């Protein structure tokens, strides 16, 4: 009798949302297929129907407690399109600041709180201590830095938006309160420390990354397209710009794409085994149009960061891993470079002569019946697309979330890691953890991407061809 088996990792831990992984093994114990299943469903696109469009930014921000600001921005930009207004320049700059503050805090959460236990303590470390508390014990300064960096981002969000989670400050037409001089000065005063932490963390990461050369080889190391927004200079951008696709060799595949035309080049496929849709670049078909978004993709599509310290780090990054690094292990490093860039950019924006202007909102009634808002969220490109009726009520909404765009790549990465590390019938923690760790490298947010409800946890089952459970590990 053929002894093919299925291993299920359910739930996957230290990520944002609920999911499981199944690994299919043949009779010799080799992994033949792997799937990353997102098991939560939410339905935001449906239940916003009939709501007044002006409620959308805050309603959509409820998709996620980690990156509500990104949803606020993409949603408010879609609403700006409905109003058909150009928002005041200061409002745009303030939105940029809160957006990159969000990137800093979210990246800090991903790298320090969720992934640093693997990186510092090792993939095979005891799961009982392989967490942020273990990090705190082994290297207190690193843990403190991570917490401080997240606090830095969160407190800027609170100063601007009134609260750290789900601020209602970003509204159609701009923002609803100007920045006070006191808050501006307080944020500026915190910047030198944040810069020092970003640089210290980069130095630490480059040190430990050498120990993971083997993992880097198999953590989603394959050629694929990368997509991200770039500004007019072709540099890293989070708030505004055109979309660019590059391939695994760094060659530009498409450039200057308008987010509003996304339907012309982005497709979404539904697989019966996951609530998470798989996005692909339609000119290359499914699944050939596999592309990645997020920190690594943004650095791969951008010419430069556009700020001095981050550009220097980007130069080192490219020297170490090539112009277009293919392994998703490098998402971690890219995340740190982006943190550095965001802190530098924030200082620049806060010193802008217009930043304290009180003209921060354009008022209008809806002048268009359809609007698309696009922005770079911490995890990648985020798109909100709304249609309204003549009275301003939402009749249709579509959201394209970063994690959905990484779905094909995550599945492929899980397979690659499993084929490299999973052998035989007995499951070890280190093996399972590597399969999870590659998912963590993408920092998926399943709550966002299924516009759904839940948490991510891990169960692995080894099934015989008759469905009998041969081995099982649950956390």
467 is a site residue for other proteins (CB under 8 A): no
Cα distances from 220 to residues 4, 35, 36, 216, 465, in angstroms, run 24, 14, 13, 8, 28
- Strand (E) or helix (H) holding 23: strand 19-25
Q: Which of 89, 248, 250, 392 binds other proteins (CB under 8 A)?
A: 392
Residue 365 binds to other proteins (criterion: CB under 8 A): yes
Can you tell me the distance from the alpha carbon of 256 to that of 243, in angstroms, rounded to the nearest whole number? 6
With contacts defined by CB under 8 A, name the span among 52-60, 95-103, 303-311, 317-325 that binds other proteins: 52-60
Per CB under 8 A, 55 contacts other proteins: yes
CB of 455 to other proteins, least distance (A): 20
Q: Is the distance from CB of 110 to CB of 443 less than 8 angstroms?
A: yes
Q: How many residues bind other proteins (CB under 8 A)?
A: 19
Cα-based distances in Å from 169 to 159, 284, 343: 10, 40, 21
Phi-psi region at 84: left, alpha or beta (left = phi > 0; alpha = psi -120 to 50): left
- Greatest alpha-carbon pair distance for the chain in Å reads 76
Among 68, 99, 117, 172, binds other proteins (CB under 8 A): 172
Q: Does 54 bind other proteins (CB under 8 A)?
A: yes
Residues 239/293/270/37 CA torsion (nearest 10 deg)? -120
- Answer yes or no whether residue 166 interacts with other proteins by CB under 8 A: yes
User: Of the two residues 76 and 400, which places its CB atom closer to other proteins in the complex?
Assistant: 76
Stretch of 45-53, 128-136, 280-288, 328-336 contacting other proteins, by CB under 8 A: 45-53
Going by the DSSP 8-state scheme, the letter that residue 257 receives in this structure is E
At its nearest, how many Å lie between other proteins and the CB of residue 162? 9
What is each CA distance from 420 to 32, 120, 440, in whole angstroms?
11, 21, 17
Residue 79 or 441: which CB sits closer to other proteins? 79
Counting contacts by CB under 8 A, is residue 58 touching other proteins? yes
Please list every residue from 273 through 332 that binds other proteins, using CB under 8 A. Answer: none
Measured CA to CA, the distance from residue 399 to residue 168 in angstroms comes to 19
Provide the phi-psi class of 54: left if phi over 0, else alpha when psi is between -120 and 50, else beta.
alpha
DSSP string, 423-456: -SS---HHHHHHHHHHHHHH--BHHHHTT-----
Q: Does the protein bind other proteins through residue 52 (CB under 8 A)?
A: yes
Binds other proteins (CB under 8 A): choice among 50, 207, 272, 467: 50
Residue 387 binding other proteins, by CB under 8 A = no
* Options 24, 51, 387, 429; binder of other proteins; rule CB under 8 A: 51
Are 408 and 287 spatial neighbours (Cβ–Cβ below 8 Å)? yes
Asked if 363 interacts with other proteins (CB under 8 A), we say yes
Q: How far is the CB of 89 from other proteins (least distance, A)?
A: 21
| Among residues 168, 287, 424, 430, the one that binds other proteins under rule CB under 8 A | 168
Region binding other proteins by CB under 8 A among candidate stretches 167-175, 241-249, 293-301, 350-358 = 167-175
- The reply on whether position 62 binds other proteins by CB under 8 A is yes
Token output for 192? 């030198």
What's the closest the beta carbon of residue 392 comes to other proteins, in angstroms? 6
Least gap, CB of 462 to other proteins (angstroms)? 43
CB 384 → other proteins: shortest distance, Å? 15
Any contact of residue 161 with other proteins (CB under 8 A)? no
181-209 vs 308-321: helix crossing angle, rounded to 10: 20
Other beta carbons within 10 angstroms of residue 270's beta carbon come to 9
What phi and psi values does residue 474 have, to the nearest 5 degrees?
-130, 140
Interface stretch with other proteins, choices 55-63, 142-150, 183-191, 379-387 (CB under 8 A): 55-63
Q: Which residues lie near other proteins (CB under 8 A)?
A: 50-52, 54-55, 57-59, 62, 166, 168, 171-172, 176, 363, 365, 391-393
């Amino acid at each position: 009798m053929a002894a093919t088996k299925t291993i299920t990792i359910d739930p996957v831990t230290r990520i944002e949302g609920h999911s499981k992984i199944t690994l299919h093994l043949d009779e010799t114990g080799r992994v033949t297929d792997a799937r990353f299943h997102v098991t939560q469903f939410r339905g935001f696109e449906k239940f916003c129907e009939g709501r007044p469009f002006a409620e959308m930014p805050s309603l959509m921000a409820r998709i996620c407690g980690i990156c509500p600001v990104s949803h606020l921005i993409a949603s408010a930009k879609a609403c700006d399109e409905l109003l058909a207004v150009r928002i005041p320049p200061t409002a745009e700059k303030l939105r940029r600041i809160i957006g990159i503050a969000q990137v800093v805090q979210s990246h800090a959460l991903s790298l320090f709180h969720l992934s640093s236990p693997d990186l510092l303590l090792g993939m095979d470390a005891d799961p009982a201590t392989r967490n942020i508390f273990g990090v705190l014990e082994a290297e207190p300064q690193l843990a403190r830095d991570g917490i401080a960096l997240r606090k830095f981002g969160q407190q800027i969000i609170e100063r601007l938006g009134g609260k750290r989670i789900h601020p209602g400050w970003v509204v159609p037409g701009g923002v609803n309160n100007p920045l006070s001089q006191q808050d501006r000065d307080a944020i500026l005063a915190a910047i030198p420390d944040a810069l020092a932490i970003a640089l210290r963390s980069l130095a630490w990461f480059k040190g430990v990354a050498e120990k993971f050369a083997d993992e880097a080889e198999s953590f989603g190391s394959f050629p694929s397209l990368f997509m991200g927004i770039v500004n007019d200079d072709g540099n890293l951008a989070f708030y505004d710009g055109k979309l660019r696709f590059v391939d695994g060799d760094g060659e530009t595949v498409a450039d200057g794409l308008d987010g509003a035309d996304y339907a012309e080049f982005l497709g979404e496929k539904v697989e019966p085994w996951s609530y998470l849709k798989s996005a692909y670049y339609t000119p290359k078909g499914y699944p050939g149009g596999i592309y990645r978004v997020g920190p690594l993709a943004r650095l791969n599509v951008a010419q430069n960061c556009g700020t001095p310290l981050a550009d220097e780090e980007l130069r080192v990054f490219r020297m170490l891993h090539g112009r277009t690094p293919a392994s998703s292990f490098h998402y971690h490093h890219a995340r740190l470079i982006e943190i550095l860039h965001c802190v530098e950019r924030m200082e620049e924006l806060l010193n802008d002569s217009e930043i304290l202007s009180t003209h921060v909102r354009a008022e209008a009634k809806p002048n268009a019946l359809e609007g698309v808002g696009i922005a770079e969220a911490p995890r990648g490109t985020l798109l909100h697309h709304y249609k309204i009726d003549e009275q301003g009520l939402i009749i249709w909404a579509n959201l394209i979330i970063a994690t959905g765009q990484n779905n094909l790549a995550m599945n492929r990465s899980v397979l690659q890691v499993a084929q490299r590390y999973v052998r035989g019938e007995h499951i070890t923690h280190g093996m399972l953890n590597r399969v999870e760790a590659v998912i963590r490298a993408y920092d998926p947010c399943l709550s966002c991407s299924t516009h759904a409800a839940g948490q991510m946890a891990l169960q692995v089952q080894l099934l015989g061809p008759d469905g009998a459970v041969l081995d099982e590990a649950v956390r």
